[in-house]
Structure 1
Amino acid sequence: MGIVLGPNQYGKAEVRLVRIDRGAAEHRITDLNVSVALSGDLADTHLTGDNAKVLPTDSQKNTVYAFARDGIGEIEDFGLRLARHFVDSQPAVHRARVRLEQYGWQRTTVDGQPASHSFHRTGDGTRTATITYDGGTAWVVSGLADLTVLNSTGSEFWGYVKDEYTTLPEAKDRILATAVSAHWRHRDAGERDWGESHRLARAALLAAFADTHSLSLQQTLHAMGSRVLSGQPDVVEIRLALPNKHHFLVDLSPFGLDNPGEVFFAADRPYGLIEGSALREDAPPPGEAW
């Protein structure tokens, strides 16, 4: 039986990049983690060790820094610039995928006034983007990760299958908490206000989580995805992963105390993991987007 080379790619992972824009009186900070993966006519390096078509990963890292010198802007635009450069400048590279994570910083306030040059990290989740380009078509998937949310009421879970191993009691009023990871695919990579699109999607996720009376985390997931699609015709598909951050009522009776739904143990593991997607009926095929 013969052995052939299967799908492969290579690149520079997790290039840490911080850019300070100093042009205005108030500085701006952009904090990124950038990963590049290239594929194409690269069989020789795998089969014979011939590196004639290999752009070193160190060169890829340097490209990220050099492109940042001209400014970053929205991370989707920065990723498109990088992906197109790698494919268009390297004959052997037929596809480039650039994944970006943007960490949030907030301007520090001193005596009620924003400081011009002092920042602190936010806990509002991480903005993400994945850009794929094959020389003809570009795909853009925007997203966010680790956006932790909690509803202190308005959630139930009952009527589920019970077998000989079931110990979980039914709940008609429970805490619902999760750390949202969501990625949404745009219809095309045409020019648009990526920042405003991300703001609208994030607001839709938060609003749907807040105002959905949840009978299951699955129901909440679908409501969140549907809200994002309803608000932006350009977004054709969204995929979500919601870990169920369980909160268990602590039994205070050994201490002679009651617990009217006020004191909880926040368990970090194990946890239920709910994953799903929502998409438009007329959504174009994802191609290389995901």
Structure 2
Amino acid sequence: MPLEAMPLKAEQLETIDYRAPDSAQQFVNSLRNTGFGVLTNHPIKQSLVETIYAQWQTFFDSDAKQAYLFSTETHDGFFPADVSETAKGNNVKDIKEFYHVYPWGRIPDELRENILNYYDQANALAAELLSWVEAYTPADIAANYSMALPKMIEESQRTLLRILHYPPLSGAEELGAIRAAAHEDINLLTLLPAANEPGLQVKSKQGKWLDVPSDFGNIIINTGDMLQEASGGYFPSTTHRVINPEGADKSRSRISLPLFLHPKPEVVLSERYTAESYLMERLRELGLI
């Protein structure tokens, strides 16, 4: 059945069973309609994610993170809150700190095994999901891809795993600051296991903010700007944000593990951009270079 014949219900994000016989088509249809897909019963073990959350919470709570300050040349390592991102079109920094993991980058020895295990598993799942996108892209849209989508990421050294720490709120935050202001991602696809606290929202086509299902064990995938660019807008890069908690939840940290699937730098996305030129433009806009 063509994708367009299977619209999602208005203003609703549905959870898709990874093991269902039509999961690939359901997933790509969800990306097409909302920019997001939420999978359950996927192959990444919840126990591994829970262990990583606990290990990295300890790291962010310690002074050890200061020994791993990020490199401006390679962008691996720890990014403290005072150099955090400012979302495109905003002038207030997000309330967060984070660590960039690449297999070739600096990683604390005691955290290396689990985080690289997760990196490999998440990267493999992301590659599979990108092949689903390729399979269900209409022929006239796919004709504009400079190469098959899975080829774009073969042996890529740019795919980034970010460990995000949203600290408890103190009440002294800058006026208007939230944990992650409304933004779109730069890359092809982003994979995110449901965080240890809710707060992720996506903006619907009707302009309404919707809560993304945050049941622990779900994995959330969204389209990034590079896939939107390569598909001529067929797959939208949807605006999303992480809102501040209320009540007792203000005292709790939030950890999340987005994997940003990036093509090789030389990959041609469109007549306007290579992956490298697009990435550099966006990093400048975010204030990270």
TM class, shorter-length = under 0.3
> Which one has the bigger helix percentage?
2
> Structure 2-normalised TM-score?
0.26
Structure ranking higher on relative contact order (CA contacts 8 Å, 6+ apart): 2
> Which one has the bigger strand percentage?
1
> Structure 1-normalised TM-score?
0.26
